[in-house]
Amino acid sequence: MPAQAYDETNIFARILRGDLPCTKVLETDAVLAFMDIMPRADGHVLVIPKAPARTLLDIDPGSLATLIVEVQRIARAVKQALVADGVTIWQFNEPAGGQEVPHLHFHVLPRWNNVELRPRTGATDKPEVLIALAEKIAGALATGG
């Protein structure tokens, strides 16, 4: 079966083009990391490739290798900056796999002992809250995470 075409109008494509704002944590030539606008935990970061890939299954292996290294860097920085006990990584493929935005992304979620993830309510966090968290995480990245 041929791969489904990449949808240039998806939200993350629009963020990558600068058509929509985001709270950036890290940007490289190949990768963008930014705060999830409806976080399931304080410090919930999304890490995406700049390459127009729908899912983990269709990205080229070289771009995936670059991406996963940045996921690890972000996970380390999130854990350090927010003094987390652990980190949960989510990655969903296609609607049947739980994916809503059709641009490949990894979720990085800091976790604390005995603290549940927030339920999915669709509530957005205030920009100033996301900015403060992004600055903390970027600070940890700058010192090696």
SS3 assignment, position 110: strand
Q: How far is the CB of 39 from ligand 5GP (least distance, A)?
A: 7
Q: What's 83's DSSP letter?
A: T
Active-site position among 44, 103, 105, 107: 105
Among residues 11 and 138, whose Cβ is nearest to ligand 5GP? 11
Q: Is 92 in the site for ligand 5GP (CB under 6 A)?
A: yes
Which of these, 99, 88, 89, lies nearest to 67 by C-alpha position? 89
Beta strand segments in the chain, E: 24-27, 31-35, 45-49, 86-90, 106-111
Q: How far is the CB of 144 from ligand 5GP (least distance, A)?
A: 25
* Active-site annotation holds for 105: yes
> What residue ranges bind ligand 5GP (CB under 6 A)?
11, 22, 34-38, 46, 92, 98-101, 105
